[in-house]
Amino acid sequence: MDWSIQETARLTGTTSRTLRHYDAIGLLPPTYIAANGYRCYDEAALVRLQRILLLKELGLSLTTIGA
């Protein structure tokens, strides 16, 4: 199952702006972009996002997480 950027943000407690930022810096690209232009994320992307959020909560910078 795949989720839109809004659904992903709601499920993970982030914002769509945060997800777009993570894509812009190469940390979490969407799984695909639908024909209507919506960014969509699959289960593997959600797991990656959970890891990013956990590491961020532990105090790591986005640069360090990306490495």
CATH number of the domain within which 43 lies: 1.10.1660.10
Question: Which segments in the chain show pLDDT lower than 70?
Answer: none
Is the whole model's pTM more than 0.85, yes or no? yes
Tokens 């930022």 identify what position? 21
How much is the pLDDT for 1? 86
Residue 47 belongs to domain spanning: 3-66
Distance (Å) of CA 56 to CA 10, 35, 37, 61: 18, 32, 28, 6
d(CA 2, CA 57): 25
Domain count of the fold of the chain:
1
Torsion angle defined by CA atoms of residues 35, 37, 14 and 8, in that order, rounded to the nearest 10 degrees: -10
Give strand ranges (E) for the chain.
3-4, 32-33, 39-41
